[in-house]
């Protein structure tokens, strides 16, 4: 089902646990109580101007908003997770109708609950695949996507569908993880707790999970294997032990780099307590490859810009380092809007814009 080559850990997993091949929505996002473990980006926490992360977040939202063409009415957010950027964009522009589409029913539920809590009547969410959008052609003025294009099983089909549902003159503004690893590949391990136990539809709370991730530069792809453990005391103790090791390990991409004790040695100990195992394979893009894919999909214009979040973060970091943030606190909204608007016009290699003729 997966093409070679395999790492030693993958070979062990394929031989011993026969993981089920799933898409990312079913393998990961259906099981996560919250995206990114409650880290930023936040959908419903008030901005704190003394935090550089919040400058980054606000600038990113301002950037999306600035890409809505004049007279825009409808925005589509592909793969909103917990509602990002759909919800902050809807909050910033009450005159726009923002729709979010995500194949994970759980994510759609979370987004809808967040919209209700935030009192946003102009944000709605539907279950659907970006590669087969449940909308008529030329329906949207702006399509946003944050770290979601590359999570689809057929990302090029998502780009073609995006083009179809954009009206002429409509804009796609997207961020994706830039897959220039700088090394041929590396492996990481993640210990986490899922909202369900992996038994489709039952939705019982709280199963402990172990994920092994193999990232490869060429061809650019990621494979993520997840073991869903049973609820025994022994499994809980092992999970806790691995969690402590992960907490002190060296990190990359927000995860802990594999070391011997967390790899096959840990898998041999976890295997007796494994109730289900899954694998998801994702095609990855560098920014230049994404620009090429936009052109192939038929976008008339495709360009890469600097990252508004990076711009916002650097600006705030500089002010904080100089002890000069205080006077900017009342200007937070205007300043982040300016940074966000600026980012889209600055040539760079982080976020991408595609325009339909
Ligand atoms: C890394 S999360 C990003 C969530 C959110 N945009 C954010 O930045 O916090 C990726 C999201 O893409 C969704 N996704 C996966 N496959 C998809 C597809 N084929 N079409 C649309 N969304 C998809 C996942 O369910 C998940 O919610």
Say yes or no: CB of residue 114 within 6 Å of ligand 1.
no
What is the average pLDDT across 253-277?
Answer: 95
With a cut of 50, say whether residue 234 has pLDDT above it. Answer: yes
Is 77 a pocket residue for ligand 1 (Cβ < 6 Å)? no
The CB of 128 under 6 Å from ligand 1? The reply is no
How many whole angstroms from 78 Cα to the centroid of ligand 1? Answer: 7
**CB 312 within 8 Å of CB 350:** no
Give residue 38's pLDDT: 59
76 lines ligand 1 (CB under 6 A): no
Please tell me whether the peptide bond between 85 and the residue prior to it is cis, using omega within 30 degrees of 0.
Answer: yes
Average pLDDT of the chain is 93
The pLDDT of residue 36 is: 57
- Is ligand 1 within 6 A of the CB of residue 152? yes
Predicted confidence band at 198 (pLDDT cuts at 50, 70, 90)?
A: very low
Distance of CA 94 to the CA centre of its chain: 25
3 state DSSP class of 136 = coil
pLDDT tens by residue, 26-44: 988 998 877 755 555 676 7
Which helix (DSSP H) or strand (DSSP E) does residue 222 occupy? strand 221-229
**Planar angle of CA 329, 94, 71, nearest 5 degrees:** 110
DSSP 8-state assignment for residue 149: G
pLDDT value of position 100? 98
Distance 274 CA to ligand 1 centre (A): 26
Cβ burial of 71 (10 Å; 0-12, 13-18, 19+) is exposed
CA–centroid distance, residue 241 to ligand 1 (Å): 30
pLDDT the model gives residue 41: 60
Q: Which value, to the nearest 10 degrees, does the dihedral of the CA atoms of residues 113, 117, 121, 124 take?
A: -20
* Cα 36 to ligand 1 centre (Å): 12
pLDDT tens track for 273-315: 999 999 999 999 999 999 999 999 999 999 999 999 999 999 9
pLDDT score of 200: 39
**Whether the predicted pLDDT of 196 surpasses 70:** no
Look up the CATH number of domain 46-178+285-355. Answer: 3.40.50.150
Query: Could you give the residue range(s) of every CATH 3.40.50.150 domain in the chain?
Result: 46-178+285-355
Q: Judge whether residue 199 has pLDDT over 80.
A: no
Mean pLDDT of 315-344: 97
What is the CA(81)–ligand 1 centre distance, in A?
5
Q: Ligand 1 centroid vs 25 CA: distance in angstroms? A: 7
Take atom 16 of ligand 1 and give the residue whose Cα is closest.
152
Give the whole-angstrom CA distance, residue 195 versus residue 317: 36
Percent of the chain surpassing pLDDT 70: 95
Atom 8 of ligand 1, nearest CA residue: 146
Q: Is the pTM of this model over 0.85?
A: yes
Residue 201: pLDDT band with limits 50, 70, 90:
very low
How far is the centre of ligand 1, averaged over its atoms, from the C-alpha of 103 (Å)?
8
Distance CA 208, CA 31 (A): 11
Percent of the chain with pLDDT over 90: 86
Q: How is 51-97 classified by DSSP, letter by letter? A: -HHHHHHHHHHHHHHHTSPTT--EEEEES-TTTTTHHHHHHH-TTSE
Q: What is the pLDDT of residues 44-84, one digit of tens each?
A: 778 899 999 999 999 999 999 999 999 999 999 999 999 99
- Give pLDDT tens digits for 80-118: 999 999 999 999 999 999 999 999 999 999 999 999 989
Q: Is the pLDDT of residue 202 over 80?
A: no
pLDDT at 254: 83
Atom of ligand 1 nearest to the CA of 153: 19
What angle is formed at CA 182 by the lines to CA 178 and CA 185, rounded to 5 degrees? 90
Please give the Cα distance from 314 to 339 (Å, whole number).
Answer: 11
Pocket test for ligand 1, best of 33, 76, 102 (most atoms within 8 A of CB): 102
> Confidence band (pLDDT; 50, 70, 90) for 147?
very high
49 close to ligand 1 (CB < 6 Angstrom)? no
Protein residue whose Cα sits closest to atom 13 of ligand 1: 79
């Amino acid at each position: 089902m997966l093409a070679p080559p395999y790492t030693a850990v993958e070979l062990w997993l394929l031989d011993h646990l026969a993981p089920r091949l799933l898409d990312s929505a079913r393998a990961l996002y259906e099981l996560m109580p919250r995206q990114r473990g409650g880290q930023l980006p936040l959908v419903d926490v008030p901005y704190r101007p003394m935090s550089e992360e919040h400058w980054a977040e606000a600038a990113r939202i301002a950037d999306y908003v600035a890409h809505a063409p004049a007279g825009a009415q409808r925005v589509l957010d592909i793969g909103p997770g917990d509602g990002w950027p759909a919800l902050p964009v809807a909050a910033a522009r009450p005159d726009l109708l923002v729709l979010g589409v995500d194949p994970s029913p759980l994510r759609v539920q979370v987004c809808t609950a967040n919209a209700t809590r935030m009192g946003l009547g102009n944000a709605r969410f539907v279950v659907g695949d970006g590669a087969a959008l449940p909308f008529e052609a030329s329906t949207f003025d702006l399509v946003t996507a944050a770290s979601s294009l590359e999570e689809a099983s057929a990302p090029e089909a998502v780009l073609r569908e995006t083009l179809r549902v954009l009206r002429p003159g409509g804009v796609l503004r997207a961020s994706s993880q830039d897959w220039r690893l700088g090394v041929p590949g590396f492996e990481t391990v993640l210990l986490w707790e899922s909202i369900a136990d992996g038994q489709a539809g039952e939705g019982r709370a709280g199963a402990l999970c172990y994920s092994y991730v193999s990232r490869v530069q060429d061809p650019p792809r990621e494979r993520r294997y997840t073991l869903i453990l049973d609820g025994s005391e022994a499994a809980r103790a092992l999970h806790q032990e691995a969690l402590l090791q992960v907490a002190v390990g060296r990190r990359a991409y927000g995860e802990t780099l594999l070391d011997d004790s967390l790899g096959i040695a840990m898998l041999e100990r976890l295997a007796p307590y494994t109730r289900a195992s899954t694998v998801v394979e994702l095609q990855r893009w560098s920014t230049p490859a994404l620009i090429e894919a936009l052109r192939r999909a038929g976008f008339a214009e495709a360009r890469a810009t600097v990252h508004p979040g990076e711009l916002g973060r650097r600006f705030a970091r500089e002010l904080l380092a100089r002890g000069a943030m205080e006077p900017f606190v009342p200007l937070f909204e205007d300043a982040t809007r300016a940074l966000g608007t600026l980012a889209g016009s600055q040539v760079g290699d982080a976020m991408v814009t595609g325009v339909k003729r």
